[in-house]
Structure 1
């Protein structure tokens, strides 16, 4: 069972995870949300864990300093939608409306983040369904269904049954990036691996996939900075 301890001042929360498979102490700072975790072998003591963390404190703080600042989604905040910055503004509207440079929300709403998230999830589903259908037709292999989640470890997945899963936060990324993830997951309908044959399929579906793939590697974690 995981437990949490604090390191230094100001305190850093560190999650301790005991593992029967671990052979040594293993430290991780999530590039997505900045969570710090330490995996310990079964026989490691708390004293060893604390000493290890004290020795690594400067390294941990250095990583945390490079984390993107969190943005609370509320009137006045700017969020990217399909890669384009939009100012969230209250107005006399009954529903959330996407404009060229603004995202309009009902005036006086005390649940701005919830409303915006629901709108973005619907938009993400529409865009991902269209892209998935387009690439599946191109590949000649149908998928079964699409589900959306707020995953932190992956942007999409494909099961052997043909079910596709995507992170709805892809709607925040440039449209080409969302398209790339759809092409990537649909390609798994033909190749359930990441072999050379798989990447050949991705290249057939989206010949210029290298650029959005690099964007996702370099900038993808920033999509998790927005708190709804």
Structure 2
């Protein structure tokens, strides 16, 4: 059975999900792919969920418009790096070169996205390692390891044995945002919670974190639009 569609211009595909735990209808828009998911109680008639989506149509369209279209990373595309928009261009040579306005990526056009993603991972690792070293020294606690992933639900995490994990897409954010996330996870080495004591540690080693934290809330999800 095909998933239902919210009529309009353009029509919006809906994904219906039934949950034994759901007590009411909930609506979620994925920042990763723009998918609109309706979660509803197991015994609720499907028509009620579709009627609910129709009442939220303006909200759905507004959020989809704010998210924007997916961007396939290829020559001619623009993507953020360090908070600035740079144009991807094909080039000669062996290595990726990042300039003030362009990112020059050698190789076959169909491989440019993957090659650029691999390069950005390395740049992100260098930046995050430097930031974490600095904040760990300020905190007075070492971390055990640093790993990078392309995470969907979080920008970073800290394990009980001192391991730090970050999304490599942080390299696309303004520098102060990357630094804030590094400080946030390092602070968990002292406080494995989000208590007032934890936020006091973030403030002590980073400073006022309100602006970069808000930037992530407002713009972070959009970084997943870039498909490498």
Distance 1:216 1:63 in 2: 16
DSSP 3-state at the match of 1:192: coil
Q: Equivalent residue for 1:152?
A: 152
* Count of residue pairs the alignment pairs up: 226
Distance 2:99 2:43 in 1: 58
Distance 1:144 1:35 in 2: 37
Q: By how many angstroms is 1:144 displaced?
A: 1.8
Note the 1:139-218 alignment, pairs <5 A: 139-218=139-218
Unaligned runs of 5+ in 2: none
Unaligned runs of 5+ in 1: none
Contact 1:71 1:225 in 2 (8 A): yes
Q: Equivalent residue for 1:67?
A: 67
Q: By how many angstroms is 1:107 displaced?
A: 4.9
Note the 1:14-29 alignment, pairs <5 A: 14-29=14-29
Distance 1:190 1:14, change over 3 A: same
Structure 2 residue 8 is matched with structure 1 residue 6: no
DSSP 3-state at the match of 1:110: helix
Q: By how many angstroms is 1:22 displaced?
A: 1.1
Q: By how many angstroms is 1:12 displaced?
A: 1.8
DSSP 3-state at the match of 1:165: strand
- TM-score of the superposition, structure 1-length normalised? 0.90
Distance 1:184 1:221 in 2: 18
